[in-house]
Amino acid sequence: MNRTVVLVGAGHAHLHVVSNARAFTTRGVRLVLVDPGIFWYSGMATGMLSGQYEPADDQIDVADLALRFGAEFIPGKVSSISREHKRVVLESGQDLTYDLLSLNVGSRVPPLDLPNDGTVRTFQVKPISQMADLRQELMGTGVLVSEINPGRVTTEFYEVALDDLESRSRAQNTGITELSPDDVAASIIHVLDAPRHVSINQLEIVPAEQTYGGYQFTPFED
C-alpha cells in the first residue's frame, strides 16, 4: 500500500526533503508539500535589507521547486490537525490524510505593545517579507543599513545547544583564537564612525585562523 508523507511549511528542512523527492516517489511514497507558495530565505534577509540583494533574490518559488523534483504541491495553510484520524484540514476546506506528518512552518514575532510617540519606531522583521517592506520605507530617508557577518565567536551557545559532551567539546575546542563580543562591538563602532557619505553595506569579520567563508579552523603554529 502506498504511503503519504505530508510536509506542512516550506522551512529549510522541508526544502531539503523536497529536493530529494525522488528518493520517496521511487519507493511508492506520495510526498506532499503544503505551503502558501513563496519561501523567504532568512540567511539573505539582512543582505536584502542593506541593498546587496534584490527582494526577488531572497525568494524561492516553492511550487516550482516541488514540480522540478517530483513532489506534489498544494498551496494553502493548515487550519487544523487530527492526530487521531491522521488528517490535516486546510483553510480552503480541503483535507489530507497522512501516514507521516512533518511541521516546519518557521517563526513569527508576536505583536509588540510599544508606545508610539513619534520618536521611537519599531519594525518587526518576521516574517522575512516584512524586511522588503522596511527596505522600501527606508529608501530616500538617509538611513543607512549595514550588515555585519562575524565568523566564529566565543559564545555559551554550545553549552545549551549540544547535550552530548563529546560533541560539545569538539565544537568548543577549535584550537584557535576566536572572536570576542568586544571584537564584534568594535566592528559596529567602525561602521558608525564611517564618514556620512560612506555606506558600508556589508562587513565580514572572521578569526585569522578560520578559513575565509568556511568552517575549517587551522591554528597558527607556535
User: Tens-of-pLDDT digits for all 222 residues of the chain?
Assistant: 589 999 999 888 899 999 999 999 999 999 999 998 888 887 788 778 777 788 888 888 999 999 999 999 999 999 999 999 999 999 999 999 999 999 988 776 676 676 666 666 666 667 777 777 787 777 777 778 788 888 888 877 777 777 778 877 777 777 788 888 899 999 999 998 999 888 888 888 888 887 765 556 666 666
Asked if 209 contacts 219 with a C-beta cutoff of 8 angstroms, the reply is yes
HSE value, Cβ hemisphere, 13 Å, CA-based, for 151:
19
Residue 12 CB coordination number (10 Å) = 13
Number of neighbours of residue 217 by Cβ within 10 angstroms: 15
Q: What is the chain's alpha carbon radius of gyration, rounded to the nearest angstrom?
A: 22
| CATH annotation of 3-103 | 3.50.50.60
129 exposed, middle or buried (CB, 10 Å; 0-12, 13-18, 19+)? middle
Q: Can you give the residue ranges of every domain in the chain? A: 3-103, 146-205
Whole-angstrom distance, CA of residue 106 vs CA of residue 9: 7
Instruction: Write the Ramachandran bin of 116: left for phi over 0, alpha for psi from -120 to 50, otherwise beta.
Output: beta
Cα angle: 112, vertex 116, 118; to 5 degrees = 145
